[in-house]
Structure 1
Amino acid sequence: MTSGAGLARAQLTIMEPPAKVGAKPGAQIARVPFQFNPNTLALTKSTEWRRKPSRMASQSALPEFVGSGPRSLSLEVFLDATATHDNSVERKVEQLMLACVPTPRSLANKKPASPWIRFEWGTSKTTSFDGVLSSFSVNYSLFDVDGKPLRATCSLAIEEASADAPGQNPTSGSRVARRTHRVVAGDSLPQLAWREYGDATAWRLIAEANGIDDPLVLVPGAELLVPSADEDGAW
């Protein structure tokens, strides 16, 4: 584990689940900064193939591509209350476990769903994606005289849950294509519209696709959906 003032700090963003299938995650519930950066990250992605048995003993049938599986990120979070003013690591463990239970808002809407989460660490992109916590475990390794846990290692597995917007799949036959853009400091919708469409006044197309009211105020790190210029015949 590494830590230091000059280092990029890893963190976990916990968000409300999407309001409907295929939508983006909702409002941010909590942002949990890591006390120590992970030593290792394990990223996996799978593909599924289908192969029909061949009657020819010396040959095998050609595989048929079925689909691409989600990314899955596994990591460990080390917690140490002996290096802080906290009396226990339990509060941090409870923060992480928020991602395992339905959110109060989803329960109030009678659509129970656990939060979506995103692991973020500096400029890393392959390990930063919207997903759900598929498994969580904690191993306590040091205790105070009264039994309070002082050190813990939490193991998390995050499974990708983001989905292509309708019509984004190039094999679906749709003529409308979409892509995403991650906001950096200084970005504005007119600037993005100029880069994408050659027309700064086309920012409304991006604003409507992302539910944005102020085109000049964007949150760095946010991911915007950028529709095709000819979507809905708008441009």
Structure 2
Amino acid sequence: MGTANITEWDPVAWQAVDNSGGLTVDFDPASLQLTYTPTGVTGANAVITSGTWSKFAAQQTGQSTTLGVDLTFDTTATGTPVTDRTQPIVALTLPDVSRGSAAPARRVARFSWGGFVFFGAVQTLTQTIDFFSATGIPLRASVKMTLSDVKQPDPAGARPAQAAPVPFGAAAGISAAPATATAPSGTTAAATGAPVGTTPLTLSQAGDSVQAIAARSGAGVSWKTIAAANGIDNPRLLPPGTILDPSVRTP
């Protein structure tokens, strides 16, 4: 038996998908083909001092690597269909729906042969069945496979968690009320002296002004403070549906 092995790999947890040990090939490949391709902007134009246009060399931003390998599988000793042996490799060309994403990811494979290890997604796969039994059972197949490299995620360079949306008026030091807070239309249910951010937000009505909203909010509310804190340029005319935090109090 060969020593080359192909295992489906989890690119997020960076471990084998299961503990089956993967697929060990029947015959080791004769050779491995690695192709390195520079990546980046190509075909760009540049203006030179003479005023004419000229092409400049492509700008390189990275490099991609592909692995090409030819494998042979043979089941003449057992008489079972050779396609049963190659099916795990063919399955690597199917989308990974295990994560329930609307856009399934490509499956990743770990190819190892001795001290050589390569992680990649199947780019192309060609299976040729070239030997059958007297009853038509496929017994030998050659598989040409190309893998496009996949790198292990770098924890240090991982994208930070997305910050919560900045509430309206936060730039002025105003905190929004909890989303579950409710109030009758056109009112704020603000208690005099209530801490900032503890009263519901207010939606302006057609023809509303900051002065009118301040008046509905109760005593102790300065319409000038509300306008400044909420970034209102024209306090006399508010577009309908403008969100305000009227819980600001005059110092």
- The TM-score with structure 1 as length reference comes to 0.54
Change (3 A) 1:153 1:43: same
| Alpha-carbon distance in 2 for matches of 1:154, 1:40 | 13
Per the alignment, residue 26 of structure 2 pairs with 35
| Relative contact order higher in (CA < 8 Å, ≥ 6 apart) | 1
Letter in 1 for 2:139: L
Number of equivalenced pairs: 154
Map residues 1-235 of structure 1 onto 2, 5 A cutoff.
9-18=3-12, 24=14, 27-28=17-18, 30=20, 31-48=22-39, 50=42, 52-53=45-46, 63=57, 65-82=59-76, 84-103=77-96, 105-107=98-100, 112-124=104-116, 128-162=117-151, 165=154
Q: CA deviation at 1:90?
A: 1.2
- The TM-score with structure 2 as length reference comes to 0.51
Letter in 2 for 1:96: I
| Alpha-carbon distance in 2 for matches of 1:138, 1:27 | 24
Per the alignment, residue 198 of structure 2 pairs with none
- Secondary structure at the aligned position of 1:12 is classed as strand
- Secondary structure at the aligned position of 2:142 is classed as strand
Aligned identity (percent) is: 21
Q: CA deviation at 1:163?
A: 5.2
Q: CA deviation at 1:69?
A: 2.7
Change (3 A) 1:152 1:24: same
Letter in 1 for 2:65: R
- Secondary structure at the aligned position of 2:34 is classed as strand
Per the alignment, residue 179 of structure 1 pairs with none
* Structure with bigger gyration radius: 2
- Secondary structure at the aligned position of 2:128 is classed as strand
Q: CA deviation at 1:13?
A: 1.1
Q: CA deviation at 1:75?
A: 0.7
2:7 touches 2:16 (CA, 8 Å); kept in 1?
Answer: no
Q: Which runs of 5+ in 2 are unaligned?
A: 159-251
